[in-house]
Structure 1
């Protein structure tokens, strides 16, 4: 039987990552396009369809060679209907029939899920979670996302909003405002944006001394990478920030693990690129706040697929007909 190729799409507010994989999840082609969020995001699906058409033409593949398109999008997703209930960063402020629209524009079967769920599936299939059927994936980027897999299946919940780890309340009173409309969410602490906010607060409290303060003084701004780099150089303010982030993230993940007892908790997203400077204190707090038997059986580890996780997970949707 001829090889049927899988197309995976990881739809983001700034960029959209696309890839073509074989039936075993091996990436054959991958590329990226900017996401056009103008006109309330109405150009996005046409842009994706055109890009896929162009790539097929470049590679000599035909539509009949493609089994389907899997796509992960931000926001609660209903995998049965392919509807995204809301994705403000894309301009979709109400229910958006992503499956129906993209199928009409590509004449191919389309399978839809949340982007963090797709990242979790990718790590389960070909990444740090390979061989595991029970895992939690948390993505630390501009925001904080999450995907929960139980017995090899994504947990969606009643209306597709399961796994919103970033909106666990970490600061019950006096917390920072979150984009979701609440205050004190984990996302306001453990996202790249939250880490930078904590750094500004720390510098204001301790005074403008040290490496991190020097970077701020020179550039007039900070990034999460600046903070982790400064911590590696033993900057006091940066170390304090990372300890605070690790504490809150460790408590949140411990509570999730105490509920689910996953085999692995996989930490991905741009912030995870910091490596052991984040992972070591995170593991310390996770162990401290986990039920002892959970701490013994649930491993906290870094994602291994990087930016490919969402694309590979979206391809998994096609392979398995979800």
Structure 2
């Protein structure tokens, strides 16, 4: 069985095909500016996949709060025209195939649990650390969406002084705080802030510690609420080889501060990066339609 795969992003839309457990990627295209062009591009790609691969279904990764019961993508994203109407029915009508849609972070988590960093584990939390902190929850092998589609929205969690985890727990915002406080001639990026801290810059070290402590406390709290087998860290920050040992150190410190805590959360770095969402939508389709 062959399934057509689509990953909708704010900059590009990626395409692929899942055939007998193997991912075949296709050329990505720039995300169009309007809904009409969006439909035209996706319909043309799916038509070509029908002819070339004989696909029998389509699975889509999307930003936003995907309601699989209503077919509506709620919330908002960098692709504003896909939200708040029954887009699932539109896809089915245009493609003339069964269609599944899932949130992009949820797809990444499904990929990691299927055969990535969390392979074989039933209960997994993915933390996507970028400009904010998002994520996904897998319980008993399935995505936990929550009653209001807020499952995995860890960035909304409050940290200290009513500041959120997204505000305090990203390198992007750590760099912004540093730049506002120090006012360097050339503002630092998150990556440069990390390098400055490693080189001994005390102000950079302070902001980096805030970043790690925020994430560590969030992970600790989630562990003692959801109790997953492990946490998978994804996003641009995960490419830094120093991140994992530094975050592990911060988590150990947080855990030691709670003397009755019997367990230190286990973390790992995402195995899949650019292909994660495409691989995850294949898993989602299989779960929804029991395909192989």
The TM-score bracket by the shorter chain reads: 0.7 to 0.9
Distance 1:93 1:112, change over 3 A: closer
Query: 1:67, 1:318 within 8 Å by CA — same for their partners in 2?
Result: no
Alpha-carbon RMSD across the aligned residues, in angstroms, is 2.3
Structure 2, unpaired ranges of 5+: none
Q: 2:120 aligns with which of 122, 131, 134?
A: 131
Structure 1, unpaired ranges of 5+: 174-183, 209-216
Matched, 1:116 2:105: yes
The equivalent residue for 1:17 is 14
Query: 1:170, 1:186 within 8 Å by CA — same for their partners in 2?
Result: yes
The equivalent residue for 2:276 is 309
Shift of 1:203: 2.1
SS in structure 1 of the partner of residue 70 of structure 2: coil
Shift of 1:71: 1.4
- Could you say which structure has the greater relative contact order, defined with CA pairs below 8 angstroms and 6 or more residues apart? 1
The equivalent residue for 1:211 is none
Q: Counterparts of 1:235 and 1:20 in 2: how far apart (Å)?
A: 47
Shift of 1:300: 0.7
Query: 2:134, 2:154 within 8 Å by CA — same for their partners in 1?
Result: yes
Matched, 1:299 2:278: no
SS in structure 2 of the partner of residue 131 of structure 1: coil
Query: 2:231, 2:267 within 8 Å by CA — same for their partners in 1?
Result: yes
Matched, 1:27 2:23: yes
Count of residue pairs the alignment pairs up? 285
Q: Counterparts of 2:46 and 2:174 in 1: how far apart (Å)?
A: 36
Distance 1:92 1:189, change over 3 A: farther
The equivalent residue for 1:236 is 202
SS in structure 2 of the partner of residue 318 of structure 1: helix
The equivalent residue for 2:52 is 61
The equivalent residue for 1:180 is none
Q: Counterparts of 2:26 and 2:284 in 1: how far apart (Å)?
A: 17
Query: 2:64, 2:74 within 8 Å by CA — same for their partners in 1?
Result: yes
Shift of 1:284: 2.3
Per-residue CA distance 1:162-215 (angstroms, 9 max, x = gap): 110111122334xxxxxxxxxx221123335323312313424xxx4xxxxxxx
Matched, 1:46 2:40: yes
* Aligned pairs (5 A) from 1:74-93: 74-92=63-81
Query: 1:135, 1:148 within 8 Å by CA — same for their partners in 2?
Result: yes
Q: 2:233 aligns with which of 267, 273, 277?
A: 267
Query: 2:169, 2:210 within 8 Å by CA — same for their partners in 1?
Result: no
Query: 2:61, 2:107 within 8 Å by CA — same for their partners in 1?
Result: yes
Shifted more, 85-94 versus 142-151: the winner is 85-94
Structure-1-length-normalised TM-score: 0.80
Q: Counterparts of 1:318 and 1:13 in 2: how far apart (Å)?
A: 22
Q: Counterparts of 2:132 and 2:7 in 1: how far apart (Å)?
A: 16
Query: 1:202, 1:241 within 8 Å by CA — same for their partners in 2?
Result: no
Q: Counterparts of 1:93 and 1:318 in 2: how far apart (Å)?
A: 20
Q: Counterparts of 1:66 and 1:87 in 2: how far apart (Å)?
A: 30
Q: 2:193 aligns with which of 227, 242, 260?
A: 227
Query: 2:57, 2:98 within 8 Å by CA — same for their partners in 1?
Result: yes
The equivalent residue for 1:103 is 92
The equivalent residue for 1:319 is 286
Matched, 1:285 2:250: yes
Distance 1:92 1:185, change over 3 A: farther
Structure-2-length-normalised TM-score: 0.88
* Aligned pairs (5 A) from 1:144-155: 144-155=133-144
